[in-house]
Structure 1
C-alpha cells in the first residue's frame, strides 16, 4: 500500500503522463526493489498499474487514485484481512473439534467491518491523509 500511495503522489507531482520507477519508490520508502517488482507484477496483472520501458518508462496507475479503493490493492496482491485464524469450512472447525470457537462471530464481524472500510477508502485519501474515522 505504501508503494502505491507513493506512486500516486509522485505521478500527481509529475503531471499528466508521469511515470515512476520502482528504484525511486524503493529508495524513498525503504522497500526492497525485488519485493516491489513482485508486488507491481501482481498489480499490473490486476490492471491497477501499467508500465512502460525505456528512458521515460516507469509505472503509473491505470485510473485516478480517487477512484481506486484500497480493497482493490489488497485483492490484487492476494492478501487477506483476517482478524482470526478460524476456518469453519475446514472439517475440524475453529477449535480443532467440530464446533466454532466462542469468539468466532466477533472476529468475523470485525473482518466484515474492515472489508467495508477498505472499500470506502481510496488511494487518494491515503495520499491526502484524509482517512475517515
Structure 2
C-alpha cells in the first residue's frame, strides 16, 4: 500500500495554489514550473479537483485556478478522494473475498488501517500544510511568485485567502 504520484502531486499542487491564491487565479503553467509536474498531468488532476468542487477555474487573460472554498475547509482526504486515489491496505479492496472468496485472517487489521489513514488525512487541512510551508520559509512569503507576476505580500495577506 502506498500513495501514488497522483495523490502526492495533487496535494503538492493544491499547497502551491493555496500559497499563491491571495493575488487571484494561479496558472497551471506556474505550478508546473515550480513543482516540476507535467502540465498535461496537472490539467488532468485539476479537472478532477474542479469536478469535486475543490478548485474553480477562471478563463481568459489573467485566468487560472483558485480555491473553491477556504483552505481550512479542504482536507488532504478531500484532495486524495477527488483524484480517485485508492488508499486501501486490504488485498480484496474491502470485498472480504481475500482468500478463496472468504475473508482472510488479517482482513480486519488492514480494514482498520484504512479507517485510521482516512481519519488522519481528514484531520489535516490544506491550511495546516500551508502554515507548515510558510514556517519552513521562515515566515517570508515574499518569496512566493506566480508565473505571471511578482508579489511582495505578507503573511497576513496570504493567510487572508484562507478565511
TM-score > 0.5 by shorter chain:
yes
The answer as to whether partners of 1:88 and 1:100 remain within 8 angstroms in 2 is no
Rounded Cα–Cα distance in structure 1 between residues aligned with 2:93 and 2:51: 28
- Number of residues of Structure 1 aligned to a counterpart in Structure 2: 123
The answer to which structure, 1 or 2, has the higher relative contact order (CA under 8 A, 6+ apart) is 2
RMSD of Structure 2 on Structure 1 (CA): 1.6
Matched, 1:124 2:127: yes
Unaligned 5+ residue runs, structure 2? 1-10, 134-163
Give the TM-score normalised by the residue count of structure 1: 0.85
Give the TM-score normalised by the residue count of structure 2: 0.70
Matched, 1:66 2:69: no
Rounded Cα–Cα distance in structure 2 between residues aligned with 1:89 and 1:62: 34
Per-residue CA deviation, residues 37-93 of structure 1 (Å, 9 max, x unaligned), is 001011111111111122210100011111111111112111121123223527xx1
Rounded Cα–Cα distance in structure 1 between residues aligned with 2:116 and 2:40: 33
Rounded Cα–Cα distance in structure 2 between residues aligned with 1:106 and 1:44: 34
